[in-house]
Structure 1
């Protein structure tokens, strides 16, 4: 199945997260040529960057939060 992209918008954004601080992330928004209203935005951090490590901390923290709040009957 072929996927035709109408266009692609990319960029970098720096934002402040209340837990880990500053994150500088690259974003990419490809759009589908057959339905330009559909978009998938991906956010990534450069490998081995401070932002990459901060995202790993957030992922770890979120996993632990779910582990502690889940209950089984």
Structure 2
């Protein structure tokens, strides 16, 4: 089940939503990481799929990926 930290985080998510704050008081409940934006699909919600030229193409460094996972993995 959830430990105390996760329970408190879920309460903070709900309070942030209820009070309509512009910056959340919690850590994200879910996270999706795109390690690359080299893609030929045309997804309507994705900057790469929309052909946004302001976003440079590239790969996420493994060290950066590990850092994100290490920081947010406990949540």
* TM-score, structure 1 as length reference: 0.27
Which structure has greater strand proportion?
1
Which structure has greater helix proportion?
2
* TM-score, structure 2 as length reference: 0.26
